[in-house]
């Protein structure tokens, strides 16, 4: 059974029209991630949530927002999609943060990925 579910699998939107991508998980993991993957490139982390704490990557455009109303769901909102935002968007989860000696925390690596939502911009 799928543990990280992304809907829809394919999304088409118009240039400048807001769009929301959905991710849900049945693992009860604390951490949820959103990645953007353009054709023939590696996934690029946009942001992640640890529980309700939002962690944005420094180079994530302001156009990209996220919401996590509860443990199971996380949404990616693109406020005004441009042609350059056409990509596969991957949601992932991990159970918790890694903990190193000295108490310094770091997000665990993403362990479970959804199948992704491929976003096209017309």
Partner 1 sequence: AQKVTQAQTEISVVEKEDVTLDCVYETRDTTYYLFWYKQPPSGELVFLIRRNSFDEQNEISGRYSWNFQKSTSSFNFTITASQVVDSAVYFCALSEANYGQNFVFGPGTRLSVLP
Residues that bind partner 1 (CB under 8 A): 40-45, 55, 57, 88, 90, 92, 98, 100-101, 104, 106-107, 109-116, 118
Please report how close the Cβ of residue 2 comes to partner 1 at its closest, in angstroms.
Answer: 9
Please report how close the Cβ of residue 120 comes to partner 1 at its closest, in angstroms.
Answer: 14
> Which CB sits closer to partner 1, 45 or 121?
45
Please report how close the Cβ of residue 99 comes to partner 1 at its closest, in angstroms.
Answer: 10
> Which CB sits closer to partner 1, 1 or 16?
1
d(CA 17, CA 19) in angstroms, rounded, equals 6
> Which CB sits closer to partner 1, 14 or 120?
120
The helix/strand/coil state of 84 is: helix
Query: What residues are paired with 67 via a beta bridge?
Result: 75
Contact 22, 87 (CB under 8 A): no
DSSP 42: -
Contact 95, 83 (CB under 8 A): no
């Amino acid at each position: 059974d799928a543990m990280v579910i992304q809907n829809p699998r394919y999304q088409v939107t118009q240039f400048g029209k807001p769009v929301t991508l959905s991710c849900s998980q049945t693992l009860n993991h604390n951490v949820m991630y959103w990645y953007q993957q353009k054709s023939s490139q590696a996934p690029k982390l946009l942001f992640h949530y640890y529980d309700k704490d939002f962690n944005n990557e420094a180079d994530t455009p302001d156009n990209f927002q996220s919401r996590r109303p509860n443990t199971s769901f996380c949404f990616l909102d693109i406020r005004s999609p441009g042609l350059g935002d056409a990509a596969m968007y991957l949601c992932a989860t991990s159970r918790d943060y890694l903990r190193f000696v000295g108490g310094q925390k770091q997000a665990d690596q993403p362990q479970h990925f959804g199948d992704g939502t491929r976003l096209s911009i017309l």
